[in-house]
Every structure is written in structure tokens, then in C-alpha cells.
Amino acid sequence: MTLTVKQLMAAANEAVPKISVEEARKLVTNGNALLVDVRDGTEVAKSGKLKGATHVSRGMIEFRADSETPYHDPQFRKDRPVILYCASGGRSALAGKVLKDMGYGNVRNLGGFKDAADAGFETEPA
């Protein structure tokens, strides 16, 4: 079955709930959540990232999240919440859907970097 981007986005948005900056802060502070920036490296270098976020570009998320690959990042654990963001929320939704498909149960989409920063989420240089 062939899918369009619109269909892929709809499935991702259905599978991965969006959360507010306040909810994200609580999950990071109290729930030991992993905050992940899935933007490209050039985007992160230009604008910085949300404070405490780990940068994993969208193209590497599967490799960092899978403990069977040599690229695995041990911060990715299926027993902790994962919060993703990108520039507008699209790539983070798609990355979240992939993580759900890989067995990560508690995955959330914070949406866009600028929106989160404008809503008061602290930032830091890349």
C-alpha cells in the first residue's frame, strides 16, 4: 500500500500525543523524560536547542533508539518517557511514530522549537 505524506502525518499525529511546554517541563523534571531535538544539525547550530535536550537528527533516530545497533544512545530506554520536537512538529511526530513502532510506549510531541522557546522553555547553545 502506498501512503502519502498527508496519510503518514495523520497516522503519526494520531499515535503520538502533543503536549504543552508545561507538561514537557514536568515530564523532564519529575518523570526523567528524554527530551530530543530531531532537527538537522545546521538548524540546531543556528538557533541552539531547548535546555537539556539531546540532539538526534530525524534520519538517525532509529539507529540511536535501537540497542542492537552500534549507534545506540543509552539515553534511549523504553522505560522512560521520550519527548520530541523539531521546527514545526512534523518531523517530531514522524520520529515519535517510529519510536512507538519500535516499542517505545511513552512518546510525546512537543511540536516546534520556536513555539516552545517563545512559551518560556529555556534554550541553550548547541
pLDDT in tens, 21-58: 999 999 999 989 999 999 999 999 999 999 999 999 99
Query: In percent, how much of the chain has pLDDT > 90?
Result: 98
Per-residue pLDDT, 115: 96
pTM to 2 decimal places: 0.95
**Position of cell 521520550?**
82
User: CA–CA separation, 74 vs 34, rounded Å?
Assistant: 11
Fold of 7-124: Oxidized Rhodanese; domain 1 (3.40.250)
The pLDDT tens digits of the residues spanning 6-23 come to 999 999 999 999 999 999
Domain locations along the chain: 7-124
**Position of cell 512538529?**
89
Question: For residue 83, which of 10, 123, 125, 32 has the smallest C-alpha distance?
Answer: 32
